Structures are given as structure tokens and as C-alpha cells.
Amino acid sequence: MNPRKLGAEFLGTLWLVLGGCGTAVLAGDKVGFLGVAFAFGLTVLTGAYALGPISGGHFNPAVTVGLWIAKKFEARDVLGYVVAQCLGAIGGAAIIAVIANGKSGFDLKASGFAANGYGSHSPGGYKVGAAFVSELVLTAIFILVILGATHGRATTAAAPVAIGLALTLIHLISIPVTNTSVNPARSLSQAIFVGGWAFKQLWLFWVAPIAGAIIGGVLWALLWDADEPEVDVIVVTAT
């Protein structure tokens, strides 16, 4: 595995968590759901342009799995990407924690630290079934957007814009439901710092996004016209 690709995935996922979750933790009361949604979209957009040409800019284990299922990514590289993404996400969360603790009276666990949750830990009080469906369906659609935006018949130079806006829309839909994951690394990083309930509920934010990514990859493989020449994914990214 090329260490530069792993480094790009580490940094891109760190930036995703720092930008998205950092906005929620440090400025969420000022910018609201809309601001947080755009923060996640903007980190993806900027990260894709900055680092996508190096690694493909997945920044998300679910994206890596979805691309592998769609035969756009080599199986031998999946584990390395996922490890780099998780480490990058934890690094981003650690930076947020350092900054947030610089404010007198900040209580990391009491704040929720932008962790994902369902039931009493869902911003809107949504139950586990609704949370699972939300994460499953939105991740599948996200994979389809990524694959479509980076297809040879699309304008791939604009792919990060489409992907970033898709992630913004996904957050607008599902922040009230789960605080929006569609990214197991992002969920892991916040749960590590919150512990307790966040760690107990973490299973959903790995299982549902990965399952959704598989569905998205399979749907893309079924929809893709096999008579067209295969093209490489140049810039791909996610939450």
C-alpha cells in the first residue's frame, strides 16, 4: 500500500471530523443544523480537491467498501484505507477535544460531543429502527452519487461539488434522526471520547452505513452499462 495514499486518507478524514464535528461542538448553538450540514459538505468538497488526486479521497470506510463492491477499488487496499480513516477521525476528534476544553465549564460527555445516537440520544428522539433505515438508505444513495459524479460521462472535475452538496443534503435530512453518520470512522472517533452510551450504540453506525454502501455498490453495478468502457474514479470522497 502506498503510504502517501494512506497519509491522504488520514488527513482527509481528520479534516472531515475537525470541520464537521468541530462545527457542531464549537459553534452548533450559533449556526444550527443548517450550518453543521454545510460544514460537513464543505470539508468533503475542499478535502476532495486537496487530497482526492492522491488517494481518491474516500475519507469514509463505507465509501471504500462501496467502491470495492462496485469494482472501482482493489480489495487488497480496503483494510489499509479503513485503518487510516479511523486513525484520522480519532485525530480530528482529539483536536476538537483540546480546543473545546479551552472554554471554562465545557463538559465533553454532557455536551454529547456530536456523537451519533438513537432513542434518547437522537436529537429528535427517533427510535433504533428509524435510525437504521436513515443510515442505510442515505449511505446507499451517497455511494450512487459518488459513483455517478465520477463516471466517465460526468464532468469529473466538478465531482467534489456534487458529492459535497449531496453530503450537505444528507445531513439536512438526518441530523434530527441520528446526528448523521453515514461514516463509521466519524462515529467511532466521537464515541471513543464520549464512551458509555455512544460506544454501546456504535454498532448501528458501522452496520447500517456498511450495509448501505454494499447496496449502493450493487445497485451501481446493476445500473452501469457494461458496453461502455470502464473508467477510473479520479476524485472520490465522503463523510
Kindly report, residue by residue over 202-234, the tens digit of the pLDDT: 999 999 999 999 999 999 989 875 545 444 444
Question: Does the pTM of the predicted model rise above 0.75?
Answer: yes
Task: Find, among 161, 196, 168, the residue nearest to 182 by Cα.
Answer: 168
- Other CB atoms within 10 Å distance of the CB of residue 199: 14
Question: Can you tell me the distance from the alpha carbon of 37 to that of 179, in angstroms, rounded to the nearest whole number?
Answer: 10
Q: What does the pLDDT look like over 136-194, one tens digit per residue?
A: 999 999 999 999 998 877 677 789 999 999 999 999 999 999 999 999 999 999 999 99
Instruction: Give me the pLDDT at residue 238, please.
Output: 45
88 pLDDT more than 70: yes
Instruction: Give me the pLDDT at residue 140, please.
Output: 98
Domains by residue range for the chain, with CATH: 3-223 (1.20.1080.10)
Cα dihedral 119, 180, 20, 54 sign: positive
Rg (alpha carbons) of the chain, rounded to whole number: 17
Poorest-pLDDT segment among 11-15, 91-95, 155-159, 170-174: 155-159
Instruction: Give me the pLDDT at residue 191, please.
Output: 98
Task: Find, among 83, 59, 7, the residue nearest to 167 by Cα.
Answer: 59
Q: Which residues contact 205 (CB under 8 A, 6 or more apart)?
A: 116, 135, 178, 181, 184, 187, 188, 191
Question: Can you tell me the distance from the alpha carbon of 126 to that of 174, in angstroms, rounded to the nearest whole number?
Answer: 10
Helix (H) or strand (E) holding 52: helix 3-55
- Other CB atoms within 10 Å distance of the CB of residue 78: 16
